């Protein structure tokens, strides 16, 4: 992916760039709003990371201008302001996702990848059947199958699997799951999500030769073929 990072704090910018490059993406940097806007309108990016607190011009103003110019590139807003009202402001200005500082690199990458996947896939009609390896999920029938084995899922488990399959191959953080499956922005102090995922894993992977639902330590989960180290 080609990613534009508009961030004025040198340390943060370097850190983000390094992480993204290591994940295999190319990164352009701008440390000031107008330059960032210029780059965004003149170059083609798969995603933009935009800091809200920029010198001279507020990040959201840049965003609004960008959208007004017809640039539909997915934008992930970074901000130290984390309350819901701030997120809503970001969303209204045209952002696609919102991440609060300090954040983990893995989460940033996971969300960026989710954004681009969403962007690229939203051109057509969403598929009714999702497939990962021999795991199949029928959204219309609300059924799931692995190979020839029917998997019996409760409604929330179905939604959870659906979300994971839509983000197959990507790292999905717990926060993303809470937002995407339960539709709440919420910080659990305990591992309440993990229990749901373990149950799902038991239903999907039990007795199978190839586990599909993996825990990524320090980040979240990933649905897909086992990673080759």
- State which residue, 44 or 217, has the beta carbon closest to another protein: 217
| Total length of the chain | 229
- State which residue, 19 or 225, has the beta carbon closest to another protein: 19
Smallest distance, Å, CB 228 to another protein? 12
Smallest distance, Å, CB 192 to another protein? 5
Smallest distance, Å, CB 200 to another protein? 10
CA torsion angle 192 219 227 148 (round to 10): 30
Task: For the beta carbon of residue 140, count every other beta carbon within 10 angstroms.
Answer: 7
- State which residue, 86 or 136, has the beta carbon closest to another protein: 86
- State which residue, 83 or 138, has the beta carbon closest to another protein: 83
CA torsion angle 187 189 191 193 (round to 10): -20
Smallest distance, Å, CB 209 to another protein? 22
Burial 50-77 (b: 16+ CB within 10 A, else e): bbbebeeeebbebbebbeeeebebbbbb
What separation in angstroms does the CA of 68 have from each of 40, 44, 93, 122, 202?
13, 17, 10, 21, 48
Q: How many CA atoms lie within 13 A of 199 on its CB side?
A: 11
- State which residue, 128 or 154, has the beta carbon closest to another protein: 154
Smallest distance, Å, CB 30 to another protein? 21
Residue 106 in contact with residue 23, Cβ under 8 Å? no
Smallest distance, Å, CB 195 to another protein? 4
In whole angstroms, what is the distance from residue 210 CA to residue 219 CA? 22
- Which positions touch another protein (CB under 8 A)? 11, 15, 18-19, 22, 82-85, 88, 100-106, 156, 182-192, 195-196, 199, 217-218, 229
């Amino acid at each position: 992916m080609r990613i534009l990072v508009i961030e004025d704090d040198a340390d943060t910018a370097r850190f983000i760039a390094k992480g993204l490059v290591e994940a295999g993406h190319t990164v352009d940097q701008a440390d000031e709003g107008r330059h960032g806007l210029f780059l965004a309108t003149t170059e083609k990016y798969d995603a933009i990371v935009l800091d809200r607190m920029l010198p001279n011009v507020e990040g959201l103003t840049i965003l609004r201008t960008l959208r007004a110019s017809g640039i539909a590139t997915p934008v992930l807003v970074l901000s130290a302001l984390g309350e819901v009202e701030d997120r809503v402001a970001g969303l209204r200005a045209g952002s696609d996702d919102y991440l609060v500082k300090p954040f983990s690199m893995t989460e940033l990458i996971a969300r960026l990848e989710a954004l681009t996947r969403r962007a690229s896939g939203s051109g057509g009609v969403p598929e009714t059947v999702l497939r990962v390896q021999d795991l199949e999920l029928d959204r219309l029938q609300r059924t799931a199958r692995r190979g020839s084995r029917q998997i019996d899922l409760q409604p929330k488990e179905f939604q959870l699997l659906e979300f994971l399959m839509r983000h197959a191959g990507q790292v999905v953080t717990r926060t993303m799951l809470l937002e995407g499956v339960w539709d709440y922005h919420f910080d659990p102090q305990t591992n309440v999500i993990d229990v749901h995922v373990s149950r799902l894993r038991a239903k999907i992977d039990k007795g199978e030769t190839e586990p599909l639902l993996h825990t990524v330590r320090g980040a979240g989960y990933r649905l897909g073929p086992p990673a080759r180290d």
